[in-house]
Amino acid sequence: MQPQSFDRPEKYGMTLLKALGHPIRLQIFNLLRDKEMTLADIKDELGTSKPNISNHLTILRDSGIVVRRFGVVNKIYNHISNDSELDILEDILRILYSNSSSPEHTPQV
């Protein structure tokens, strides 16, 4: 599914922020910033169920934040969209995680 088209920048911004409005989706975004991952890879990293990860990936894909690539042997790889508008999400994560005292949540900038 392609991301929705938006007639106003406010709607687009609201959709991006809403898509990241769940802790698991923030964690998925952080995981996918530097590499592609399959649903199973993400599941293993986060320790939650495949249906749960799948639902969150669908929200991230529908917003245009995450795109997928079909690989060999029926593997589907998820990665962050190359849209330059998404750079602001990197800044948001940097701010959020800079206030975290837990080193495992430090973004991979």
Q: Which domains does the chain have, with CATH numbers?
A: 9-98 (1.10.10.10)
The kind and range of the H/E element at 68 are: strand 66-70
The pLDDT-based confidence of 78 (bands split at 50, 70, 90) is: confident
- For residue 21, CA distances in Å to 15, 17, 37, 70 come to 10, 6, 21, 27
Q: Residue 106 pLDDT > 50, yes or no?
A: no
pLDDT of residue 14: 83
Across the chain, what does the average pLDDT equal?
81
The pLDDT-based confidence of 109 (bands split at 50, 70, 90) is: very low
- Tell me the C-alpha distance between 103 and 21, whole Å: 22
